[in-house]
Amino acid sequence: MATPVRGCRIPQRNTGGNCGQAVDEPSGSAAMTTTAALELIGLRTEFRIGGAWYPAVRDLSLRLERNETLALVGESGCGKSVTALSVMGLVQPPFGRVAAGSILLDGMELAGASEKALETIRGDRMAMIFQEPMTSLNPVMTVGDQVAESLMIHRGLSRGEALERARALFEEVKIPSPAARLREYPHQFSGGMRQRVMIAMALACEPAVLLADEPTTALDVTIQAQVLGLLADLRERHGMAVLFITHNLGVVAQIADRVAVMYAGEIVEQGPVDVIFADPRHPYTRALFAAIPRLDQAEQELSAIGGRVPPLDQMPEGCRFAPRCPLAQAGCELPQPLVALAATHAARCHVTTAAVMHA
């Protein structure tokens, strides 16, 4: 393996002959890796500011297996949504571009694929729940037709059949009086309801890969619990892989198998969910944990992270978190590699991984 990042994968747990394979097996054997549901290799997505291109995501590699939920966490402006939009082929010139890297959906290259090719995949094998429910629906089309559309295009259902399926989906996401509401327009729905329409839309064709960008942030906790349950059902039924973007660490603890923490366009730490929660290594991950009030703790010291994510055109050299980091010291201005701490756990910080690096 060329980069330490690609070594960070967990063995497939569902089926297959090569379960429990050692991660650093010498290369050469063709059967070494199964094809991931989604794999990103060295993704770099750039946006144009004042005539120059700046990376919002740089050198990002991750693997998402079948029947796996990977949580992508971090503050706003860390490149989480841009990563998902890049996968969907929705970052397009003249404002942005996928400048380098591979996006492999079940082994098929999507970076540079034609719009026509992408159209056959989007909404079918790969779907996305967008973050803004207020602006992501078509205002002049009934919500029922919007959900039915992808079923008619990708599954060849008649309008009647597709609407019946849409009604069942509305029931599953707990939209009250679903049959009547199918004929309504987005402006007649509240934010939380529109979010549920969007979830129904993304799940309509039972995609193999779901990119969920803050899907439950606008929802009440009881509805959030319902939606998370629904995603778990779909995963159980046909091994759906989910890239779950969120900043709610409670949700992460509930549903994720693995966690990747992003900061300023880079993955700063990734690993299995229990390791990340029990033994976070990157100072940013630790700071995130210290900033959330917890329902299960009586007296809690809350500590905020000072400052904010640096803007794209003012990225510091070396470690991008250093200006806000309590552990910043000499050496932080150098480029930081993602260092493997264990077979499945890696962090991008020379201070907290020093022991591993010198070993």
Q: How many CB atoms lie within 10 A of CB 195?
A: 29
Q: Considering the rule CB under 8 A, would residue 75 count as an interface residue with other proteins?
A: yes
Q: Considering the rule CB under 8 A, would residue 174 count as an interface residue with other proteins?
A: yes
Q: Considering the rule CB under 8 A, would residue 223 count as an interface residue with other proteins?
A: yes
- Return the residue of 7, 277, 328, 343 that touches other proteins, per CB under 8 A: 277
**CB within 8 Å of 261: residues ≥ 6 apart:** 73, 74, 267, 268, 269, 270, 276, 282, 284, 285, 288
The Cα–Cα gap between 173 and 221 comes to 13
Q: Considering the rule CB under 8 A, would residue 308 count as an interface residue with other proteins?
A: yes
Number of helices followed by number of strands (H, E) in the chain = 11, 12
Shortest gap between Cβ of 239 and other proteins (angstroms)?
20
The Cα–Cα gap between 320 and 355 comes to 21
Q: Give 52's strand partners.
A: 49
Q: Site size for other proteins, by CB under 8 A? A: 47
String marking each residue 239-268 x if it binds other proteins according to CB under 8 A: --------xxxxxxxx-x------------
Shortest gap between Cβ of 277 and other proteins (angstroms)?
5
Shortest gap between Cβ of 17 and other proteins (angstroms)?
29
Range in contact with other proteins (rule: CB under 8 A) among 32-40, 42-50, 160-168, 296-304: 296-304
**CB within 8 Å of 304: residues ≥ 6 apart:** 291
H/E element, 196: helix 191-203
Q: Considering the rule CB under 8 A, would residue 52 count as an interface residue with other proteins?
A: no
Nearer to other proteins, 119 or 257 (CB): 257
Q: Considering the rule CB under 8 A, would residue 305 count as an interface residue with other proteins?
A: yes
- Return the residue of 20, 50, 176, 335 that touches other proteins, per CB under 8 A: 176
Beta strands in the chain (DSSP E): 38-49, 52-64, 69-73, 96-105, 108-109, 126-129, 209-213, 241-246, 258-263, 266-272, 339-340, 346-347
- Return the residue of 24, 220, 313, 333 that touches other proteins, per CB under 8 A: 220
Nearer to other proteins, 61 or 216 (CB): 216
Nearer to other proteins, 149 or 172 (CB): 172
The Cα–Cα gap between 65 and 50 comes to 39
Token digits of residue 181: 């509401």
Nearer to other proteins, 10 or 117 (CB): 10
String marking each residue 179-198 x if it binds other proteins according to CB under 8 A: -----------x-x------
Nearer to other proteins, 47 or 277 (CB): 277
- Picking from 94, 54, 38, 4, the residue whose alpha carbon sits closest to that of residue 239 is 38
**CB within 8 Å of 44: residues ≥ 6 apart:** 55, 57, 58, 59, 60, 98, 99, 100, 101
Strand 209-213 to 126-129 pairing: parallel
- Return the residue of 32, 141, 177, 238 that touches other proteins, per CB under 8 A: 177
Binding site for other proteins (CB under 8 A): 75-76, 174, 176-177, 190, 192, 220-226, 228-229, 247-254, 256, 273-274, 277-278, 287-296, 298, 300, 302-306, 308
